[in-house]
Chain A
Amino acid sequence: MRIGVRVTETLIVGVYVCADGASGAQSVHIDGFGMVEAFDRLMDKLLNTADVSRRAEGDPVAVVTFELSDVLVPQHEQLVTTIRIAPRPPIEPSHELNIGMTAMDRPRIVHVRGGHTKLGEELVPLDVRKLHEFAADVSSGGRFVVSSVGAQINSAHELMAGTILLEHADPASVNYSHSFYNSSFGTRERTAVTNSSLIPSAESLATALVLVAGRRVPNARLFVTTNDGGCVPLSRLSVTPVHSMFSARPSTLIGAAALGHVDNGRIMVIAAAGDFIGEMLDGVTAVRPQLRTQDGHALASKSANLLPATPSLLTGSIEPPIVVATSGSPDQSSLGLPVHIRAEVDLGALGAACAPATDWLNRVIIVRNATELQQSLAAAEARVRSRLVSFGAATSHVRIVESRVIAAPYENPSIVGLRVRGVAAGKSVGGILTREQSGASQ
């Protein structure tokens, strides 16, 4: 049995999905309880429903997946300090560039000489002395982001700078830009800064949820939904919360796909916040390589491709989208399409229960021939498979849904990117619920 839990500021909703496809939902208002107690009460209600308690022996709760994007709150009280490692500092303010960072996010910037080339060679030596001087002066408990030129290929300077900070600056956290795959220094840094601001909230959430879940369902594996419509172990939330920051709509799409039994095809979700269209391809969401925030700035996080519903999207395809309405939304889509399925269950929580465990491997490699390329791809796929198994998935449930080489235009011709996406799921999203289950009306 799987449980999906969507947490908002005022409400916690839980949906259970049994191995035979039966499902049900419960909710608890947070007002007056606090989130931890509300979650405890929700688990109590869920575990004591007839369906769940009757199946406790043969189909125990194996997985609890949380959708937490609504309560992941950036912390702005303490400014992030960014260590920018590059051969030279900007000569004028216009070349400093803090694109996409709000006034609250805007970090204090310290420039340090260093950086690597695309081939991983040292472009200039790291200015270790400056880092030591800075670390000795800075107050303890600071939050730091370290970003270096060429770190996507060689992270040595970032790691060395981080080591100096950890040893001498007594920091609260150190985030590295190379943890976020992107060829842009600014996008990597922006993602790391955003991630850093979410960590206090993520740590507190993860700790609270683990304590309650550990007491209520001690044998269950705990997951958190991600921006790509998948889920990862909850332990990752404290490390890379940015990957769960925008997971609400992807989870809603997964819930709609489960309800509509859609593994391949477009889905239009009618929601109070605006209709959007997404797509399922072979049981997983269509995903774009990086996330664009509402103001158009990129974050290095894979995200489900969800587009505002516009008339243009209805042309160029034979099959019209399946239209799924969230509860309380209008009877017709903004484009005039009739609603096929009206959800009586919280789609975000259902999506959390149905989201497949997902892992990505992105890496820049240097290859000289096709044989080396195939070897690199095979190694990358093996790594993704083993990580998914380490999430608790059965080997037979793991599959590689994407494995390809991406050229890097205007760069060195021997340098290419690898992108591998693996998922682990016993059943595809469209096949999880029984056809006659009660969370929808046609």
Chain B
Amino acid sequence: MRLSNEDIRHIKTGAIFNACAADPEWCREETERTLSLMSNGGRRPELKAVEEFDDDALIVSVGFVNNGLPVSDLRPVGDEFRTSLRLVEEALGRRVDGLMPLAAGNVNAIVPLLTGLQLDLPIVDADPMGRIFPLVDQTVFTLAGLPVGPAAATGATGESVLVNVTEPARAERLLRALAGELGGWAATATYPMSAATLARTGVLGSISRMMHIGRILDSSITTEQKHDALRRLVGVQQIIRARVSDLMWSAPSIVPGQIDHPSSVVFIEETQGKIVQVELQNELLMVMVDGAVRAVVPDMITMIRPEDGSVATLEDLWCGNTIDIVVMPAAKQWYSPEGIRLAGPSAFEALSMQ
């Protein structure tokens, strides 16, 4: 299907919801670039189910890997993903046939739409995470034993690097380091694979799912109706409506392999005086109500604004603000023993401290 402007806006909203985005501006700006390119070029991104590709079609994931200045400060100039994809094509000796997002959330959900428009490539309705995890190797492809590389990274300076790497954990370390050296982020092309492999191992339907979520959140129905609609669509459950009471940032030594320090947010549920604690480390990792765990990674914990049912972000975590905390299940692969080991509670420093 060819995506309309409204579809793109809904994907953006769904992407921010999936991610409980650190800074929604990243996603909004990438969406504006996409809409502007659509408007100027008169073309629309093409979204295709993985079955619509030939089995041996080459699919590559594209996405930003961050370490320093955010994409909203050091803005891309427009050729970064093209450069990375060209490097991967040269390494593999063949053309890329389709793109997928590195993650189904925040700015990376929009990146393939824009890059697909630029290169006239279709987007596959699938991704490696089904949500956002902070590390490049926290993917269902790692669970399936697939290589990350050959991978490529390009920065806003125009500098680019081809990384011949297979081991996912090493790819994370190398790409993260490159992102820092390139000024704050790297526009990466990773996980080249055939459409047949993607169909067998990937999280399928994740882009259309974001679009459906966004359509509900962008509608003019009441907050309660949005909760109901999201529950029916993707199993979203409201954990609690509570007010931000305190924000705490802990400064322990940095654990190797972790890309940010953990933070805690304490909420008060006022009608019954319940204490809600949310643990963060780039993403919302765990919610406890009166000390009992109500949701934890790989569950997708996110937030909605009570006043109008619009999508909330980490920007809304300021003292005094009231938020609906909600949870929805992640892709089923993440609840396997291997999935829990790679992206469950023990994979995050914030939760290992609990």
A65-93: contact bitstring with B at CB < 8 Å (1 yes, 0 no)?
00000000000000000000011111111
Quick check: is A317 within 8 A (CB to CB) of the other chain?
yes
Q: Which stretch from B49-57, B137-145, B301-309 is at the chain A interface?
A: B301-309
Query: For residue B320, which residues in chain A have a CB less than 8 angstroms away from its CB?
Result: 279, 281, 286-287, 305
Contact across chains for A115 and B74 when beta carbons are under 8 A apart = yes
Question: B259 within 8 Å of A by Cβ?
Answer: yes
- List the B side residues contacting A150 at CB < 8 Å: 69, 73-74
Interfacial chain A residues near B314, Cβ < 8 Å: 409
Complex Cα–Cα for A316 and B79 (A): 48
Q: Tell me which residues across on chain B come within 8 A of A239, comparing CB atoms.
A: none
Quote the shortest CB–CB distance from A252 to chain B (angstroms). Answer: 18
A183 interface residue (CB < 8 Å to B):
yes
A310/B307 in contact, CB under 8 A: yes
Known contacts: A94-B33, A99-B29. The answer to whether A413 contacts B75 by CB under 8 A is no
Q: State which residues 146-166 of A face B: CB under 8 Å.
A: 149-150, 152
Residue of A nearest to B260 (CB): A413
B346: interface (CB < 8 Å): no
CB distance from A276 to the nearest CB of B (A): 10
B90 within 8 A of A: no
Chain-A contact segment, one of B20-28, B203-211, B292-300: B20-28
Taking a contact as CB atoms under 8 Å apart, the answer to whether B72 and A407 are in contact is no
Chain A residues contacting B260 (CB-CB under 8 Å) are 407-411, 413
Shortest Cβ distance from B76 into A: residue: A95
A304-322 with Cβ < 8 A to chain B = 305, 307-308, 310-313, 315-318
A305 engages B78 (CB within 8 Å): no
Whether A411 contacts B28 by the Cβ 8 Å rule is: no
Interface contact B68-A312, CB-CB below 8 Å: no
In the bound complex, do residue B73 and residue A93 qualify as a contact, i.e. CB atoms below 8 Å apart?
no
A184 within 8 A of partner (CB): yes
Instruction: Confirm or deny: B258 has a beta carbon within 8 angstroms of a beta carbon on chain A.
Output: yes
- CB proximity of B240 to chain A, nearest CB, Å: 9
A184 and B73 within 8 A (CB): yes
**Smallest CB-CB separation from B240: which chain A residue?**
A316
Complex Cα gap A414–B22 (Å): 17
> B287 in the interface, Cβ–Cβ < 8 Å?
no
Stretch of A5-13, A15-23, A46-54, A118-126 at the chain-chain interface: A118-126
* Contact assessment for B270 and A89 in the assembled complex, using a CB-CB cutoff below 8 Å: no
Q: How far is the CA of A19 from the CA of B86 in the complex (A)?
A: 73
Which among B32, B66, B223, B318 has the highest number of chain A CB atoms within 10 Å?
B318
Tell me the smallest distance from the CB of A219 to a CB of chain B, in Å: 37
> Which of A193-201, A366-374, A425-433 is near enough to bind chain B?
A366-374
Complex Cα gap A408–B66 (Å): 11
Which of B120-128, B192-200, B246-254, B327-335 contacts its partner?
B246-254
Total A-B Cβ pairs within 8 A:
190
B352 lies within 8 A of chain A by Cβ: no
- Chain A residues lying within 8 Å of B29, measured Cβ to Cβ, are 97, 99, 184, 186
A117 within 8 A of B: yes
Contact with A along B236-273 (1 / 0, CB 8 A): 00000111000101010110001111110000011100
- The CA-CA distance from A199 to B24 in the complex, in Å, is 30
- Note all chain B residues with C-beta closer than 8 A to A370: 251
> What per-residue 1/0 map shows which CB atoms of B59-84 lie under 8 Å from chain A?
00000001111101111111100000
Contact of A209 with B by CB under 8 A: no
CB neighbors of B among A395-431 (8 A): 402, 404-414, 416
A97 to B34, CA, bound (A): 11
Say whether, besides A184-B23, A310-B307, A118 and B271 are in contact (CB < 8 Å). no
Question: Does A216 belong to the interface (CB within 8 Å)?
Answer: no
Q: A118-B69, A119-B68, A123-B183 are in contact. Are A91 and B78 (CB under 8 A)?
A: yes
Q: Does B235 reach chain A (CB closer than 8 Å)? A: no
Q: How far is the CA of A150 from the CA of B185 in the complex (A)?
A: 13
Residues of A within 8 A of B77 (CB): 86, 88-91, 95
Pairwise interchain contact B259-A117, C-beta atoms closer than 8 A: no
Selected from B34, B66, B251, the residue in CB contact (under 8 A) with A373 is: B251
Closest to A407 in B: B263
**Are A117 and B306 in touch, CB under 8 angstroms?**
no
Taken residue by residue from 107 to 129, chain B's Cβ proximity to chain A (1 for < 8 Å, 0 otherwise) reads as: 00000000000000000000000
Q: Mark A312-356, 1 if CB is under 8 A from B, else 0.
A: 110111100000000000000000000000000000000000000
Q: Is B180 in contact with A184, judged by CB distance below 8 angstroms?
A: no
Instruction: Indicate which residue in A308, A318, A405, A408 contacts B271 across the interface (CB closer than 8 Å).
Output: A318
Distance in Å: Cβ of B253 to nearest Cβ of chain A: 8
B interface size (C-beta, 8 A) = 66
Set of chain B residues within 8 Å of A307, measured between Cβ atoms: 307
Number of interface residues of A (CB under 8 A): 62
Interface centre among A99, A408, A409 (most CB of B within 10 A): A409
Q: Contact at B72–A186, with CB atoms within 8 Å?
A: yes
Q: Does A251 make an interface contact (CB < 8 A)?
A: no
CA distance A135 to B125 in the complex (A): 50
Considering the chains assembled together, what is the distance between the CA atoms of A312 and B241 in angstroms?
Answer: 11
Cα A279 to Cα B315 with chains together (Å): 18
The closest CB in chain B to the CB of A116 belongs to B69
Residues on B with C-beta less than 8 A from A404 are: 247, 249
Nearest CB in chain A to that of B132: its residue: A410
B25–A187 CB distance below 8 A: yes
Which A residues are CB-close (under 8 A) to B259? 410, 413
Q: What CA separation (Å) do A404 and B253 show in the bound complex?
A: 19
Chain B residues with CB under 8 Å of A94's CB are 33-34, 36-37, 40, 78
A288 at the interface (CB under 8 A from B): yes
Contact A183 B40 (CB under 8 A): no
From B73, B74, B158, B283, residue with most partner A Cβ within 10 Å: B73
A93, B307: Cβ atoms under 8 Å? no
Quote the shortest CB–CB distance from A222 to chain B (angstroms): 30
Give chain A residues whose Cβ lies under 8 Å from the Cβ of B224. 312
Task: Determine whether the beta carbon of B183 is less than 8 Å from that of A290.
Answer: no
Give Cα A210 to B261, complex, Å.
49
> With A and B bound together, what is the CA distance between A414 and B68 in angstroms?
10
B306 touches A316 (CB 8 A): yes
In the complex, per-residue mask of B200-221: 1 if CB is within 8 Å of any chain A CB, else 0: 0000000000000000000000
- Separation of A369 and B253 alpha carbons in the complex (Å): 7
Measured CB to CB, the nearest residue on chain A to B309 is A312
| Pick from A91, A184, A409: contact of B72, CB under 8 Å | A184
Known: A90-B78, A93-B36, A94-B37. A305 touches B223 (CB 8 A): no
Residue of chain A at shortest CB distance from B39: A94
How near does chain A come to B246, taking the closest CB pair, in angstroms? 8
Query: Measured between alpha carbons, how far is A185 from B156 in the docked complex, in Å?
Result: 14
Closest-CB distance, A384 to chain B (whole angstroms): 17
Q: Which residue of A lies closest to B258 (CB)?
A: A413
A-B contacts besides A86-B156, A406-B247, 5 pairs, CB < 8 Å: A91-B77, A94-B36, A94-B37, A308-B308, A410-B259
**26 pairs across A/B with beta carbons < 8 Å?**
A90-B75, A90-B77, A95-B33, A95-B77, A118-B68, A123-B74, A149-B73, A183-B72, A184-B23, A186-B75, A298-B25, A312-B223, A313-B306, A316-B243, A316-B271, A317-B243, A317-B271, A367-B251, A407-B249, A407-B260, A409-B22, A410-B134, A410-B282, A411-B66, A412-B180, A416-B261
For the complex of A and B, the 3 pairs showing the least CB-CB separation, nearest first, are A286-B320, A409-B22, A94-B36
